[in-house]
Chain A
Amino acid sequence: MFALGVALAAPVFAAQSDSSQGGGIGSETHAVPARQSWTFAGPFGKFDPEQLQRGFKVYHDVCSNCHSLKLVAFRDLADPEGPDFSEGQVKALAATYKIEDGPNDAGQMFERPGRPSDHFPWVFANPEAAKAALGAVPPDMSLLAKARTYPRPFPLFLFDAFTQYQETGPDYIVAILNGYTHPGDDHWNLYFPGHTIAMPRPLKDGAVQYTDGAPQTLTQYSRDVAAFLYWAAEPKLDERKQMGMRVIAFLIVFAGLLYFTKRRIWAGVAGH
């Protein structure tokens, strides 16, 4: 697993990185991920349910063969500020999974069909099993879009505070998925620090069937799944940004009133 070390005042300008796959070299330069345009960026940002549904399909058909999503429950997919699947769809989806439960009255563990309140199960019994099968443990995807980033050197990180650029994680994920640029080498990635990535090329054009007419291309898949992962990592984003708008509007009006009150009170004081 790889991790960018990042400064805190300067969230994304700190460091080069390292990988357990034996990659990262500090001074090596890497291609910079391209800035994507996201519906959930900026002060009015909102997730696009259709994009999240497509992104979920990519996760479901491809990523979930190796990666867990343990913090997300099936019922979360029905969130109207998320993928907005219907309750019926969620129930049907959950039922396709086998969930271990128990022990029952006889003291036995048993398997039952999934319910909406269950979390996504992992195909592997434990990290050791995953490592034995794949050679490395694929990171859990629940927080991946917030746990990955890329360096934003001075002065870019200063501008980011004003432009509200928070989507370095999804941009990085899109870059990685499009970064397998050596046709002969499925473990070579343009954007991965050290360029050697444990995950072989996971997606290519036509790999996932979309039913809503969206283009079935790698570019589209990578954007959709990165959006889905950002939702998985930050499910309350819509609510947060909407509340922020109201809070800041209130505070600006309140500050205005206080300012004029202050001027009125101080009006009689000589020299002010």
Chain B
Amino acid sequence: MSGQSTYVPKNAFAKWFESRLPLIGFARNSFVTFPNPRNLNYWWTFGGILAFMLGFQIVTGVVLAMHYTPDSKLAFLSVEHIMRDVNYGWLLRYAHSNGASLFFAAVYIHMLRGLYYGSYKAPREVLWILGVTIYLLMMATGFLGYTLPWGQMSFWGATVITSLFGAIPLVGSTITTWLWGGYAVDNATLNRFYALHYLLPFMIAGVVVLHIWALHVPGSNNPTGIEKKTDKDTLPFHPYFTVKDGFGLVVFLIVFAWFLFYIPNYLGDADNYIEANPLQTPAEIVPEWYYLPYYAILRSIPSKLTGVIALFSAILIFAFLPWLDRSPVKSASYRPLYRIFFWIFVAVVLGLGYIGANRPEGSFVIAGRILTICYFAFFLVVLPLLPFVEKPRPLPASIADAVLGKTAESQRKT
């Protein structure tokens, strides 16, 4: 994807094949000799972790699909059949449900890494927007998947989220009916959600290919935010980053295994172990944890339509980051004020998540509104205006200078 192919086929078959489809050279250039900035830290291993998690979710999901029944009368029982009677069914199902959560945890770290080091800035705007697209598809997939066990929270979560479209003027109720395949969330809804839940991951995989393609044109950003200039700034992908990513992935898998084997229901909702009952609304309808900040934004706004607009804006605003952030300096390491605002933003999102999990009453309402304003202010006020008041620290001349200079400095200190 970058530069001339340096691959020279060694045997006759490889030569024959390579002249017809240069696949080996392509793979080699992309994942073996590809020059990566030498200073990538462990936050950069989450790209590889996410690729692994997508594959993992597809494999476990396909096997689960062999045992699951998408029928509103049987879905809940078929999940319990998987948990009790299918060989290692409990493992597959807990791996898939916790895998979704860990996938989102990884994607949030990946996004925050991009936000901290300015990875969305030129020349990586398209790469970033493809990432936002993947995130949107992931959210849709996660939501659709959560309805499939057909527990109380599955059913009522699906009801609440699909009802959001009812807020659209004029065509709202038509759209909702169309989404449901009827006049309420029912068997038709479950069937189409199942079909779409199976489809979307492959669309994600397609966009991931574009995402990696767009990544390999300029190459990875790095903690300095300076583009690679010479060979001194880079190291080949293999073995340096295969081993580093591999180590990062295995450490991540330890955390994943902790959830899967010891606290598999920690991130779930007890109500979802009660079969869906359209006649009985749960006391509290709460989405999965990874949607909670957006849920808080939705509920902070008294008007339903405005709330829905705010909800979708809060997600889509990420796509405009490359143009909202006016600073020419990418990395927060050299932006003393931005670094502070970044961590405030992280705290705001966590606060919104906490509020999203609680009943919208009393001080939670006020706090939710204040934090919603803070959330949007970060994008619409802080990012565009900060460069006018912030004085960035001097940038090193090159990645190599930054790395070697740091070492020289630390050697001088000791």
Chain A interface residues (CB < 8 Å from chain B): 1, 3-18, 20, 24, 26-27, 43, 71, 76, 139, 142-143, 146-149, 154, 160-161, 164, 166, 168-169, 233, 235-236, 239-241, 243-245, 247-248, 251-252, 254-255, 258-259, 261-262, 265-266, 269-272
| B273 beta carbon closer than 8 Å to chain A | yes
Bound-state Cα–Cα, A235 to B283, Å:
28
Bound-state Cα–Cα, A269 to B399, Å:
14
Cβ contact within 8 Å between B286 and A7? yes
Bound-state Cα–Cα, A166 to B356, Å:
22
Known: A236-B90, A243-B261, A262-B243. A11 touches B270 (CB 8 A): yes
Cβ contact within 8 Å between B250 and A258? yes
Bound-state Cα–Cα, A15 to B359, Å:
7
Cβ contact within 8 Å between B254 and A251? yes
Known: A14-B284, A14-B357. A3 touches B271 (CB 8 A): yes
Residues facing A in B232-252 (CB within 8 A) are 235, 239-240, 243-244, 246-247, 250-251
| B181 beta carbon closer than 8 Å to chain A | no
Nearest A residue to B362 by beta-carbon distance?
A27
Bound-state Cα–Cα, A195 to B307, Å:
36
| B253 beta carbon closer than 8 Å to chain A | yes
Which of B243, B264, B267, B400 interacts with A258 by CB under 8 Å? B243
Which of B246, B266, B283 interacts with A24 by CB under 8 Å? B283
Nearest A residue to B232 by beta-carbon distance?
A270
Give the residues in chain A near B407, CB-CB below 8 Å: 270-271
Known: A8-B287, A265-B243. A251 touches B257 (CB 8 A): yes
Bitwise, B356-382 to A at CB < 8 A (1) or not (0) is 111101000000000000000000000
Measured CB to CB, the closest approach of chain A to B24, in angstroms, equals: 23
Q: Which 6 A-B pairs have the closest CB atoms?
A: A5-B284, A244-B261, A9-B289, A7-B357, A15-B284, A147-B273
Bound-state Cα–Cα, A254 to B248, Å:
11
Bound-state Cα–Cα, A139 to B38, Å:
60
Bound-state Cα–Cα, A71 to B274, Å:
13
Task: Tell which of B292, B354, B357, B359 has the most Cβ of chain A within 10 Å.
Answer: B357
| B19 beta carbon closer than 8 Å to chain A | no
| 29 contacts across the A-B interface (CB closer than 8 A) | A3-B152, A4-B271, A5-B271, A5-B286, A6-B269, A8-B288, A8-B289, A9-B290, A9-B292, A9-B353, A15-B284, A26-B283, A71-B77, A142-B80, A147-B270, A147-B271, A160-B263, A166-B265, A235-B84, A240-B90, A240-B91, A247-B257, A248-B257, A248-B258, A252-B254, A255-B251, A261-B243, A270-B407, A271-B407
Task: Tell which of A10, A12, A259, A271 has the most Cβ of chain B within 10 Å.
Answer: A271
Give the residues in chain B near A252, CB-CB below 8 Å: 254
Known: A14-B358, A15-B359, A271-B406. A259 touches B247 (CB 8 A): yes
Which of B38, B77, B270 interacts with A269 by CB under 8 Å? B38
Task: Tell which of A8, A17, A139, A161 has the most Cβ of chain B within 10 Å.
Answer: A8
Give the residues in chain B near A164, CB-CB below 8 Å: 262-263
Cβ contact within 8 Å between A161 and B273? no
Which of A7, A139, A272 interacts with B292 by CB under 8 Å? A7
Known: A8-B288, A16-B283. A154 touches B354 (CB 8 A): yes
Cβ contact within 8 Å between B359 and A166? no
Bound-state Cα–Cα, A271 to B38, Å:
9
Task: Tell which of A4, A13, A17, A251 has the most Cβ of chain B within 10 Å.
Answer: A251
Bound-state Cα–Cα, A143 to B83, Å:
11
Measured CB to CB, the closest approach of chain B to A176, in angstroms, equals: 14
Bound-state Cα–Cα, A178 to B288, Å:
32
| B285 beta carbon closer than 8 Å to chain A | yes
Cβ contact within 8 Å between B286 and A8? yes
Which of B251, B254, B283, B290 interacts with A15 by CB under 8 Å? B283
Bound-state Cα–Cα, A255 to B264, Å:
23
Give the residues in chain B near A168, CB-CB below 8 Å: 270
Known: A4-B270, A147-B274, A271-B403. A244 touches B357 (CB 8 A): no
Which of A160, A243, A266 interacts with B240 by CB under 8 Å? A266
Measured CB to CB, the closest approach of chain B to A85, in angstroms, equals: 17
Residues facing A in B62-119 (CB within 8 A) are 77, 80, 83-84, 90-91, 94
Bound-state Cα–Cα, A4 to B272, Å:
11
Bound-state Cα–Cα, A71 to B38, Å:
56
| B268 beta carbon closer than 8 Å to chain A | yes
Bound-state Cα–Cα, A154 to B80, Å:
31
Cβ contact within 8 Å between A9 and B257? no
Bound-state Cα–Cα, A254 to B251, Å:
9
Give the residues in chain B near A8, CB-CB below 8 Å: 267-269, 286-289, 292, 357
Nearest A residue to B156 by beta-carbon distance?
A5
Give the residues in chain A near B247, CB-CB below 8 Å: 255, 258-259, 261-262
Bound-state Cα–Cα, A183 to B38, Å:
73
Bound-state Cα–Cα, A13 to B269, Å:
11
Known: A7-B357, A161-B266. A20 touches B280 (CB 8 A): yes
